[in-house]
A and B are shown apart, each in its own frame.
Chain A
Amino acid sequence: MSHYLLELVLWMLLAFFIGCIFGYLARLMFSEAKAEVLEPAAVAPAAVAPATAPMAPKASAEIAAPAGKMERPKGISSARGGKADKLQRISGVGPKNEKVLHNLGFFHFDQIAAWTPEEIEWVDDHLKFNGRIKREEWTRQCKLLAAGKEDEFGKLFGTGGMKHKAGQTQSGTRTKK
Chain B
Amino acid sequence: MRRIPWGILLALLAGTGLGLVYSWGVSPTRVVDSEPVALRADFKDHYRSAIAAAYASTGNLPRAQARLSLLGDANPIEALNAQAQRMLASGQSFDEADQVAALASALGQNGDVVSSPPPTTENTNNTVSAPTSTLPPPPPEAPVQLTETPDAVETQPVISASTPRPTRTPIPTLSSPFALTGQETVCDTNLPDGLLQVLVLNSNRRQMPGIEIVITWDGGGENFFTGLKPELGNGYADYVMTPNTIYAVQLRLGSDIASRLTTPTCQTPDGATFFGGIKLTFQQP
Q: Are A and B associated in one complex?
A: no
